[in-house]
Amino acid sequence: MTTEIKTFDALTKEELYNILQLRSEVFVVEQDCVYQDIDGLDQKGIHVLGTKNKELIAYTRILNPGDYFDKAGIGRVVVRKDQRQFGYGKKIMEATIKYIETDLKQTTMALSAQVYLRKFYNELGFQEQGATYLEDGIPHVKMIRTGNQ
């Protein structure tokens, strides 16, 4: 998998379509969750695209401090179902973390994790903060990563 990082304005129409298609495929259809994915934050976000054989298979969205969390935020972390066994989730998160630390010069970052993925994010240096809560009917927990891990 290769990763590419782009602002919203740098995305092609096809890339944006593929991002929205992948997010819908996983978050709406696979997880059977009706929610407002088009949330007005994509235009502010930095988009991390993971491709394999010219197909989008993994993705994350980075938000600047203050756009969602008071710290740099990571969201919409997704890997296509048939590609999850290859470690691409870890690879795209590592590229995301590196961009936040190197380009945004932020060492603290936050995300809202689906509870069943806590161990995955713990292994990347994130720690739970506060109690679990429902987000779009799915249990989540806020997680923070501080300093260079």
Provide mean pLDDT across the span 2-14.
Answer: 98
Q: What pLDDT does 124 receive?
A: 97
| Site of tokens 């919409």 | 76
| pLDDT for residue 132 is more than 80 | yes
Average pLDDT, the chain: 94
Q: Is the pLDDT of residue 74 over 60?
A: yes
| C-alpha count within 13 angstroms, C-beta hemisphere, residue 146 | 4
Contact indicator for 145, 108 with CB cutoff of 8 Å: yes
Q: C-alpha distances in angstroms, 122 versus 29, 111, 113, 125?
A: 27, 12, 11, 5
- DSSP-assigned states of every residue in 11-63: S-HHHHHHHHHHHIIIIIIITT-------S-TTT-EEEEEEETTEEEEEEEEE
Could you report the per-residue pLDDT of 75-98, keeping only the tens digit for each? Answer: 999 999 999 999 999 999 999 999
pTM: predicted TM-score of the whole model, two decimal places:
0.94
Phi, psi of 68 (to 5 degrees): -145, -55
Q: Which residue has the higher pLDDT, 70 or 35?
A: 70
Other CB atoms within 10 A of residue 121 CB:
22
Q: Which of 2-6, 36-40, 66-70 has the highest mean pLDDT?
A: 2-6
Average pLDDT score over residue span 57-65: 97
DSSP state of 140: E
Residue with more model confidence, 29 or 90 = 90
What structural domains and CATH numbers belong to the chain?
2-145 (3.40.630.30)
d(CA 116, CA 14): 32
